[in-house]
């Protein structure tokens, strides 16, 4: 789709002509964008990152979702003094590829795996001081983390 035709179609959710969000590829009016962000924040709140290893230059977290008792992911953070290196492992116990929410008419749905990355950025990268960071996401073959993680 060309930029012009996107602009002509107006806000993807309510049809209002003035679109300004997100910057660079505006498809939503400010009100609808706020609504979309608010919904994403609510969905992200269902995830919890529990830190169980804290070293000087590294941390490890288990990722929980409110709908299941067992952890559904884990995150390793490494600080080499310059950049932050994050490794996120997602376990198939959770439906990571499912759409995280539905807004009627929304052309840009996001999956749970997208939103958990937002959560990692907000709750791990930013408190660490932000700056440059690199993230690798892996899908685990095991259904959930090994039992030795379970006691933490």
What are the residues binding Zn ion (CB under 5 A)? Answer: 11, 13-14, 16, 29, 32
Smallest distance, Zn ion to C-beta of residue 99, A: 20
Closer to Zn ion by CB, 26 or 116: give it: 26
The residue (of 106 and 144) whose beta carbon lies closer to Zn ion is 106
Residue 42 CB, nearest distance to Zn ion (Å)?
19
C-alpha triplet 38, 4, 37: angle, nearest 5°: 5
Sign of the CA dihedral with 134 first, then 135, 136, and 142 last:
positive
- Rounded to a whole number of angstroms, the minimum distance from the CB of residue 33 to Zn ion is 8
Q: Closest distance between Zn ion and the C-beta of residue 29, in Å? A: 3
CA distance 90 to 94: 8
DSSP at 80: -
- State which residue, 67 or 104, has the beta carbon closest to Zn ion: 104
Which of 32, 62 has the CB closer to Zn ion? 32
CA-nearest of 54, 57, 60, 40 to 117 is 40
Edge-first strand listing for the sheet containing 58-65: 47-54, 58-65, 73-79, 84-90, 133-139
């Amino acid at each position: 789709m060309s930029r012009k035709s996107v602009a002509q179609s107006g806000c993807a959710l309510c049809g209002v002509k003035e679109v300004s969000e997100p910057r660079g590829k505006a498809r939503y009016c400010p009100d609808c964008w706020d609504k979309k962000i608010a919904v994403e924040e609510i969905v992200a709140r269902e995830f919890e990152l529990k830190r169980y290893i804290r070293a000087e230059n590294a941390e490890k977290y288990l990722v929980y979702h409110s709908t299941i008792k067992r952890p559904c992911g884990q995150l390793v953070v490494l600080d080499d003094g310059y950049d932050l290196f994050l490794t996120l492992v997602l376990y198939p116990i959770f439906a990571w590829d499912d759409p995280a929410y539905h807004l009627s008419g929304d052309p840009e749905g996001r999956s749970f795996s997208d939103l958990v990355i937002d959560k990692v950025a907000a709750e791990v990268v930013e408190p660490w001081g932000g700056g440059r960071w690199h993230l690798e996401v892996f899908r685990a073959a095991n259904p959930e983390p090994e039992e030795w993680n379970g006691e933490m």
